[in-house]
A and B are shown apart, each in its own frame.
Chain A
């Protein structure tokens, strides 16, 4: 098999990589570009740990060929914060105790970020549905749902929402 040189637009920057056509986006991110935020947990598109966004939509990078991602705007967990300043959603995950072992967190954040971009005030049912493709073994999801619900709009009656500055 011949290696092909392609350009991937990741977190606003072009990256040129030489890949085999059968390489997944996840492998290219992790092995070739040292972006290890996206994780492999099930390797068959069930758990959502490898979730990244392509043109704003959450996709399983373990089931996506890197070739398919050409021309798309790819966003990974590494692109959520600007410099060292966390996104509101990332901060909300911390403040609401939504992170335990943290292995599912990058994928969870990418699914939630995509949801909030489309619907900034989702109700609980919508959040639970949007995150149904991301498996977490530690939290029971309660604090994750809370973190997403308060991700864009911190709520006054929530003891874990940071006061607005």
Chain B
């Protein structure tokens, strides 16, 4: 695999230059002629019927160009799935959380728009609200959505059979409950959207997105215009982490204001709006009951999870499944029963987040450590006895093609010195291990595939068109690397056109960690097809069989006789003179089980590849303050094949920061009757440069049989296992298995004191 020229190399990213010069344009940086400022009026109540809205005073304010309410909409409800369509973009009947959209304003400047918001008079009838999933399940008050009894939005039930029988056979059984609060994305870039209707009445939209094609469909539905009239445009994006995949009501409101005024409109969220009105992570209460044989192998598990879903469904069925799926991929289980309940509450909407399911995964691993302790097995051996192996089928019947889980464990253990340290460290000094697995793709029906186009220009350079979006993780560079490698060009010869619904074909987006595996794959195939055309022309010029040709450094040459060569530019010109342009397309559709459905049929091939990761963390806890000092984190992930180690390391390091340092030690939301009281960066504690430990990156390769060059998802298994590693290390340091996440100083101190009191 080492004869690649560009793939597998530490290549600095092509998009970096514009970013270090301050030239990269994000949505809030855009300025269009005649552009108006848009603002959104939000509900101050967690649950309230909207009795009337009077916009007359706002409309009369000089400088106000348009005021829109639910009456101006087509009343379309949005939901990712046909059975989860529960959210209007502007509410007409009632508000379901503090921050729900009730009206929009476009004005000549921000000050006027804000004054107009205050002049909109909304009459509400306040309704009883629920803020806790268990309370919401039992409540006798008005349902949040009348079609969903007991406020249960989604129930996922998975049962492999034989669970009860296997519990009877078990040598040892434990049942433990773990809780975790909501966390937030805190993207560097607050959400912003610019919309306008062009002279041909096409809607143009610039906004952060996890996939432009995921935004165009709901907008097409809402405005009842064809898909080709919705142009989601390319724009630099300041992070996504799972929180920008879906349509945002602001996209629709901005477009509606643009339609009404005939002018471009920009809505820029405040930091608080970005926190409460985009998406958040789910709070979870998870009970794991696990039965093992005398060797510690899991033969039966029953897991019940209650998720605080907030006011609307969002990616509900997926969110309710993924924490379970990650753990069923990571570990073998003889049998399992899972009941996941996503419950509506009068809180902001919850979606997928990089660390989705920290309470769930940390619960599984904490319990494994408790069982191991009981059986006298060390944590590493406990994981190796239960770890996923290549060729296995998961409990929900996905075949695992490539898997180097054990190698990630062995290498992380060796690098961190785990075995020399575990059980031998001084008091309040601990080490812990976590392992996890992440999907490379979800079943996404007709939107699961990606198609790329490549055209050669007469100067021998190429334009690549792909729907893949870059949220910051380096997807654009990945596409350029692949195209340059396959076409025999240099990266600077590739011009990339991407993430634009007008010029690119449908693509699943960066959603579900699938950009390289699907979108990159499509570019690879398109480039191979294009190269075939070049070789046909070159073979005549070089009088050689196309099979003997190689393309590299802008030249095509005979493999065994490199002196016989011709510049690619010349080949393109010869082709054009023979009345043939050099271009090609290529598509890739992952072979998943199309009958698999999140709720109705959660069995079958989930995706074509899974990544596996291990994180080991060493910490010191201050017994007087409960503060945790992280000494070192070691991250090892099976990425299939490392297309660009430089970019990969950055993914690992960012994952340790968000998944472990923030996700397990400081990040959570606090509430007062449904009002988020720490929505800003001043109150919500994000990891800083001075907080971060030394990070050891270990890239493990398993060469996935289906992935492009053998590559699969890269980085997310670290984001997930980091939480587990951090949690295990703190538990090890204080000698108490903690069950409430994140592990803030107050909880750590309480655990230390309780242990002391017990003697």
Contact = CB atoms under 8 A, between A and B. Distances in A.
Interface in A44-65: 44, 46-47, 49
B646 A102 contact: no
Nearest to B17: A94
A24 interface: no
B718 to A, nearest CB: 10
Nearest to A108: B689
B48 interface: no
Interface stretch (A2-10, A32-40, A66-74): A32-40
B682 A101 contact: no
The residue in A96, A100, A127, A136 that gathers the most chain B C-beta atoms within 10 A of its C-beta is A100
B481 to A, nearest CB: 14
A128 B688 CA distance: 9
Given A47-B681, A103-B239, A143-B650, A39 B189 contact: yes
A128 B12 contact: no
B20 interface: yes
A142 interface: yes
B189 A81 contact: no
A43 B681 CA distance: 9
A102 B19 contact: yes
Interface stretch (B371-379, B394-402, B437-445, B654-662): B654-662
Contact of A138 (B26, B270, B472, B688): B472
B69 interface: no
B4 to A, nearest CB: 17
A139 interface: yes
B188 A138 contact: yes
Nearest to B694: A142
A79 to B, nearest CB: 9
A97 B715 CA distance: 15
Contacts of A34: 31
A78 B22 contact: yes
Contacts of B692: 128, 140-142
A100 B21 contact: no
B689 A86 contact: no
A94 to B, nearest CB: 4
A159 B185 CA distance: 32
A159 B9 CA distance: 11
Contacts of A101: 187-189, 236-239, 471-472
Given A42-B682, A90-B20, A138-B239, A97 B188 contact: no
B633 to A, nearest CB: 9
A42 B658 CA distance: 18
Nearest to B635: A140
A160 to B, nearest CB: 6
Contacts of A139: 650, 653-654, 657
Contacts of B658: 137, 140
A42 B241 CA distance: 18
Contacts of A93: 16, 20
A149 interface: no
Given A102-B16, A103-B239, A137-B188, A36 B657 contact: no
Contacts of A25: none
Interface in A131-160: 131-132, 134-145, 159-160
Contacts of B22: 35-38, 76-78, 106
Contacts of A39: 26, 28, 188-189, 238
Contacts of A143: 649-650, 653
Contact of A137 (B10, B19, B686): B686
Q: What 6 A-B pairs have minimum CB-CB distances, sorted nearest first?
A: A37-B22, A101-B472, A102-B19, A103-B238, A140-B653, A77-B22
Given A94-B16, A100-B650, 5 more contacts: A41-B190, A101-B187, A103-B187, A137-B187, A160-B646
Interface of A: 30, 34-44, 46-47, 49, 76-78, 80-81, 86, 90, 93-97, 99-106, 109, 127-129, 131-132, 134-145, 159-160
6 contacts: A35-B22, A39-B28, A41-B271, A46-B681, A78-B21, A134-B689
